[in-house]
Structure formats: structure tokens, C-alpha cells
Structure 1
Amino acid sequence: MKQIQWFPGHMSKASREIKEKIQLVDIVCELVDARSPLASRNPVIDDIVGVRPRIVILTKTDLADERKTRLWHQYFADHAIPTFDFDVNKRFNLKAFVDSLQQILSEKFAKEKAQGRKPRAIRMMIVGIPNVGKSTFINKIAGRKAATVGNKPGVTKAQQWIRLHQQLELLDTPGILWPKFEDQSVGLKLALLGTIKDDILPLETIAEYGLTFMRDNYPNQLVERYGEAGISADFIEQLDSIAKMRNSIGRGGETDYHKIYQFFLHDIRNGALGCLTLEVPEEVTADEA
């Protein structure tokens, strides 16, 4: 498979602006997709953030495998990075979140107080790749529509400060990807979850990757949704069985494969195939860690 590259001009500009603004914030809040916490982390962010304090939010936990999510919390804890879950269907404990931020920054604020500086709100930068749920997260903790929400990559186009209350100010930033995916499996995972646009990779390639993953890791969920034929080792047989279930057989008895690719991807991205997680910490190599 060809090397996956997608780095539009606005992403390059956003990267430069984040570097310029990083000195204005106390802490960085990095959002990652709980279904693929490693693949959805932008390695460029590590270089930008440096040693600045960081907290990780695992988004879309309602769509992720709960057992594997616990493993990821432990993984980040082992790397001294605090984490929080974010399920859009549940109340987010903002008080506990702010308390955690204050604890992380207690030494910094104690020094400022000793220097005679007045107490102030925590300044936090929100970062993450496209379509990871940044705007949804901001609106949820703000209790109002403070950021534009869209179920597609690249909704936020510019940085914006958002004041939540006296204790917390947020600097939202556009989602940015890194220039190219050296590990092709990373590109496939992000494509399957809808993080990169569907025209970057052929839908057939994404669908085949996703169906193979589901057959090998969540076969019961495939059967529940598509029937026994859904776990066929033959990719075309899988597609044909889904087509029959969906009545997507065209004239002459031929399957509309493009339509089935779209249907399957919609199912996997929106939870119709059940909760799933594409990777676990045990798969992280020494270099990745």
C-alpha cells in the first residue's frame, strides 16, 4: 500500500500557531480516541508540548471496549500521564477534572503566589487530531455551545480562547495530523474510524481491513449484526451476505459493493457493530513507547 500522506495547508499553519501559543498555557489537554489511543496520538504534539504538563482525555469511550480502555488508563498511568474518560452520553465530572488540573499545577501556582502574583484561572490548550471529539468535549464541559461540532475531520479552522468559569480558560486548536504515516496500520485505523477523509484511501481497502479485524477480534458482534455469513474468511462472501441482509442487490443480482463499504463503515464508526478497540498496550513496541 502506498504511503499515506495528508497535510493540508491549514494543518501546517495550525502547527506553527500551536508552537507560538504553547508558552501562554499552563497545561495541555490531549484528546485521543479511546478506540485507538495510540494511533490517534499525534507524535508532532510531543515535540511541541515538550516537558509542559499534560493530561489525556480518552474520548468516545461509549464506543470503545471497556476492558481495553482500562488497560489504556493503566498504560498512561505507567507513563505518569493522568487520564479521564469522556462519554458524550454521561455527565462529565468537571469539578474532579479541575481539581486534578490544580493538583498537577500546584507547585507552579505556589511559586507564582510566592512571587506576589494574584490567583488566576488555569490556562489549558486543547489539542488532538481531527474528528477526535474536541468541540464536543468543550461544549460538554462548558454546558453550552462554545465550539462548532461536526462529525467530520477539520471542523475547527482556527485557534480560539474559551472561558468556562473563573477557574479554567481553554485555548481550542484545529485538529492536526502529521505529514505522513510511516506505519501503514496507523493510517488504516484512522481511516476506519473516520479521522482522515474517505478519499485518502480506497473504501475497499478500509472495509477489508475493518471486516478482517472484526472477524479476528469481535466475531460474535459480526454475527449479531450480519448473520453467520458475516464471519466468512472470504471478503467477497462477507460483502455479499451483508448486501443480502441490506437488500443492496442491484439489477442482475449483483452486489453494490461501494454501497456496502459505506454501510459497513457507518456501522463501525457509530457503534452499530458494538463496542470495539483497535489496539491494546501490549502491541506497543519499545520504539513507540
Structure 2
Amino acid sequence: AELRKASKRLSCHKRYKIQKKIREHHRKVRKEAKKRGHKKPKKDPGIPSAAPFKEELLREAEQRKQRLEELKQKQKLNRQKEHERKRKLEAKKNAATIKEKAEGKESAGKSKGKTKKLLNKNSKKSFCRELIKVLEASDVVLEVLDARDPMGCRCPQLEQAVTCSGGNKKLLLVLNKIDLVPKDNVEKWLNYLKKEFPTVAFKSATMMKEKTMEQVTKRHGRVDFSETSQYFGSKCLLKLLQEYGKTQDKAIQVGVVGFPNVGKSSIINSLKGKRACNVGLTRGVTKSMQTVHLDKQTKMLDSPSIIADPSNSALTLALRSVIDPEGSDSADVLEGVNAIISHCSKQQVMMHYNIPDFRNPEEFLSLLAQKRGMLKKGGVPDIENVAKLVLCDWTG
């Protein structure tokens, strides 16, 4: 049952009591006023009729009254003029401040636009600009190739730009990630690539000491790094660069270029012996040219990734890590995954992901989503997120 609101009506006893108290209060106030002797102001009796020069006095009083009125009127006009002048000054000041704010906003908008353009380091134009900077500043260019797909990682336009630059620029191929392919394949690729340009096999360190690690090891003793932190090929590459540096009269600058995720920054870290450049599994960690001094005669220049032409096939773009699983459109990710699965051996894919036979890439993605528990509302397979996961597996 709903509770009723309390009534505002008063009983007669209570109402009469309140009225009585009010009357007593008023009586008390009147009594106190009488005690204080509250007097009414006396009325001006004026000039008696029998007084001599009454008319003259009255005329003088009238004139005095008029003068006072005129003075008051003049003061009032002066006050109004002063107020008007102040109001106009304030209006001018307000207009000036509004104008300044508008100009400031315009200039801020322009500067923001400029800074946005400058700060948009993820744009393709910015990457290309930084890459050109590295190529122009370098005496030796290291083109980093992924040992799993060396020909797919080569950029003929870049190689042509280096060889036809007119200067004394040298191009050196670095076959990275050799631990991910059989030894026979590495040897065959080295023999094939050496016919065109000098080639060095390399395995970057996957776990690097931080810059402050040397101090930590001194204080806390030996730090046990895993076997994966060992790298291969750095001595050979350093020897080549040092020998070339001796032939020059100046310190050489070595530019490191290549497609996304081929291990450009990791190679510099391996040569330096500590973490000098930021590295990550995702593409585009390096956004601008970075300079790392190996020694007095050798300076390494880390560069952003080579930007592949979007008109290439979906398979090419996917395998070269051009399609970003997080930043790209879901349709592009699905197209890239479909291209990869269509060109792979079905048996190997089934063994790798431990799933049953499938007829097409769409069925493969739905089976994998069910196996990994990646389902939407109503048990519908989350195809988009599974596609991102597969793309990361194949390009990472």
C-alpha cells in the first residue's frame, strides 16, 4: 500500500496558539519602540506672515532651490557623459580582445594544422621522406631481407636508386632470420644473391640488454640471458664495414632499409651490442631516421619501412607486412588471409592449427574461431578477429 502524504492542516488549538504568540511579539516591539522615544520629524513652519522682507526671502529661497536643481542636473549630465565615455572605451577594448582571440584562433588553427602534418609520422609520405633522407645521407646501404622470402623482400626500385645515384654508394644485402629456415636453403640463397650484390647471413638478437643493464650486472652479478639472445653474422658485417671505412678519408654512414618487420632495428641493436633502437612485433615501430654510433668511424642510420604499392596483389601485401592487422580495414585483412591460405599447403595449415579438413578459407577461419573460442553473441564465429590473429601468425 502506498503511504499517504502528511496533511498540512493544523488543529484549531495550534493555530490559535501561533496567532497569540504573534500578537504578543507585536506588542513587545511597540513597547520597546515607545521606550526608545521614537519621534516624528518636525515640519518646517516656514516664514511667518508678519516677518519683514518676506517676499525677498521667499525669492532668495526659490533662487537657491533653482540653483541647486541646476547643479544637480549638471552633475547628472556629467555623470551620464562619463558613463557613456567609459562604455565606449569598454566596447572598444572588448572588440579588440575579440579580434585578438579570433586572430589567435586562426593562427592556432594554422599552427595546429602544421603540427598535425608534422606529427603525422604514420603517414606514407612521412615514411617515404624519411627513407629518402636515409638513402641520401648513406655511404653504404644495407638492404635487409627476410630469409623466408628473400625475393619478396627485395625492392628493385630502391636497388636501382642506390646503384644509379652517381656517388660512391655501396649496396649490401643482409639475409636476416636465418634461424627460421633450413641451413641448405640459407646456403642456396646466399650463393644466388652473391651473384648480384655482396650478401651476409645474419641472425639478430631477439632479447637485448637495455642501456642500463651494464650497471645492473655490476651491482647484482651475472644475469643469465636465454640462448635466443645470441646473434650470428655481426662480426662478419662489422669487419666488412670497418674495411670499407679504412678506404675512406671520413667516417662512413650506413643506412639500413627494408620492408616492415624484416629486422632492421634488431640488426643495429645486435651490431651495437645493446638496445639502441626500439623494436617490436608490430610494423612501423621506427617512424623517423635514427642515428646510432657503432664507433668513431661507423654511424648507423635506422629508417622507416619501404612502402609497397597498394596495387600489388593481396598475397604480396600480406606477406610483406603492409596490411596492418590493427590499423587496416577488416576487408583488407580478410583478403590478405584468404590469399595466404589459398597459396599454402592445406595439410601443413591443418597440422599447424590442429583443425579438421576445410574446403575454403572462410570455413578455415570459422573452424579456427570455434577451436579458439572466439565467438560472438549467439555462438557466431568472430571471423574478423580470427583473421587478424592468422595474419599476425604469418607476418609476425
Judge same fold: TM > 0.5, yes or no: yes
Q: Distance in 2 between matches of 1:253 and 1:144?
A: 48
Shift of residue 77, structure 1, vs aligned partner: 1.5
Give yes or no for the alignment of 1:57 onto 2:57. Answer: no
Shift of residue 265, structure 1, vs aligned partner: 1.9
3-state secondary structure, aligned to 1:47: helix
My pick for the range that moved more, 66-75 or 122-131, is 66-75
3-state secondary structure, aligned to 1:95: helix
Give yes or no for the alignment of 1:94 onto 2:237. Answer: no
- Aligned counterpart in structure 1 of residue 280 of structure 2, from 145, 150, 153: 150
Give the structure 1 partner of residue 318 of structure 2: 191
Q: Relative contact order (C-alpha < 8 Å, sep 6+): which is higher? A: 1
Q: Distance in 2 between matches of 1:151 and 1:250?
A: 27
1:125 and 1:170 in contact (8 A); partners too: yes
Q: Which runs of 4+ in 1 moved over 6 A?
A: none
Give the structure 1 partner of residue 47 of structure 2: none
Shift of residue 102, structure 1, vs aligned partner: 4.5
User: For the structure 1 residues 257 and 20, does the alpha-carbon distance in structure 2 shift closer, same or farther, using more than 3 Å as the test?
Assistant: same
Give yes or no for the alignment of 1:30 onto 2:160. Answer: no
3-state secondary structure, aligned to 1:169: strand
My pick for the range that moved more, 138-147 or 169-178, is 169-178
User: For the structure 1 residues 207 and 65, does the alpha-carbon distance in structure 2 shift closer, same or farther, using more than 3 Å as the test?
Assistant: farther
- Aligned counterpart in structure 2 of residue 141 of structure 1, from 249, 271, 282: 271
Q: What are the ranges of 5 or more consecutive residues in structure 2 without an aligned counterpart? A: 1-121, 206-227
Shift of residue 247, structure 1, vs aligned partner: 2.0
3-state secondary structure, aligned to 1:58: strand
Q: Distance in 2 between matches of 1:93 and 1:81?
A: 14
User: For the structure 1 residues 226 and 145, does the alpha-carbon distance in structure 2 shift closer, same or farther, using more than 3 Å as the test?
Assistant: closer
Q: What are the ranges of 5 or more consecutive residues in structure 1 without an aligned counterpart? A: 1-5, 271-289
Give the structure 2 partner of residue 225 of structure 1: 352
Q: Distance in 2 between matches of 1:209 and 1:69?
A: 26
Root-mean-square deviation (CA, aligned residues, Å) is 2.9
Q: Aligned AA for 1:21? A: A
Give the structure 2 partner of residue 124 of structure 1: 254
1:131 and 1:195 in contact (8 A); partners too: no
Could you tell me the percent identity over the aligned residues? 26
Relative to the length of structure 2, the TM-score reads: 0.54
- Aligned counterpart in structure 1 of residue 193 of structure 2, from 76, 92, 104: 76
Mapping for residues 276-287 of structure 1, pairs under 5 Å: none
Shift of residue 98, structure 1, vs aligned partner: 1.9
1:94 and 1:141 in contact (8 A); partners too: yes
* Larger gyration radius, structure 1 or structure 2: 2
Give the structure 1 partner of residue 136 of structure 2: 20
* Greater share of helix: 2
Q: Distance in 2 between matches of 1:158 and 1:175?
A: 10
2:127 and 2:288 in contact (8 A); partners too: no
**Deviations for 1:222-276, whole angstroms, at most 9, x for unmatched residues?**
23333352x5232233223212321224443421111221222232234xxxxxx
- Aligned counterpart in structure 2 of residue 213 of structure 1, from 335, 338, 343: 343
Shift of residue 153, structure 1, vs aligned partner: 2.8
2:135 and 2:255 in contact (8 A); partners too: no
User: For the structure 1 residues 66 and 262, does the alpha-carbon distance in structure 2 shift closer, same or farther, using more than 3 Å as the test?
Assistant: farther
User: For the structure 1 residues 19 and 126, does the alpha-carbon distance in structure 2 shift closer, same or farther, using more than 3 Å as the test?
Assistant: closer
User: For the structure 1 residues 167 and 212, does the alpha-carbon distance in structure 2 shift closer, same or farther, using more than 3 Å as the test?
Assistant: same
Shift of residue 181, structure 1, vs aligned partner: 4.9
Shift of residue 182, structure 1, vs aligned partner: 5.2
Shift of residue 65, structure 1, vs aligned partner: 5.4
* Greater share of strand: 1
User: For the structure 1 residues 79 and 166, does the alpha-carbon distance in structure 2 shift closer, same or farther, using more than 3 Å as the test?
Assistant: same
3-state secondary structure, aligned to 1:91: coil
Relative to the length of structure 1, the TM-score reads: 0.72
**Deviations for 1:65-122, whole angstroms, at most 9, x for unmatched residues?**
554443322220222432222243332343222223345x38x81xx5xxxx5xx654
**Deviations for 1:29-69, whole angstroms, at most 9, x for unmatched residues?**
11122222222223332233116322211223334455444
Q: Aligned AA for 1:58? A: L
Give the structure 2 partner of residue 3 of structure 1: none
Give the structure 1 partner of residue 155 of structure 2: 42
Q: Distance in 1 between matches of 2:390 and 2:237?
A: 36
2:153 and 2:320 in contact (8 A); partners too: no
Q: Distance in 1 between matches of 2:186 and 2:123?
A: 29
1:152 and 1:195 in contact (8 A); partners too: no
Shift of residue 136, structure 1, vs aligned partner: 1.6
Q: Distance in 1 between matches of 2:199 and 2:352?
A: 36
Q: Distance in 2 between matches of 1:262 and 1:202?
A: 10
Q: Aligned AA for 1:224? A: M
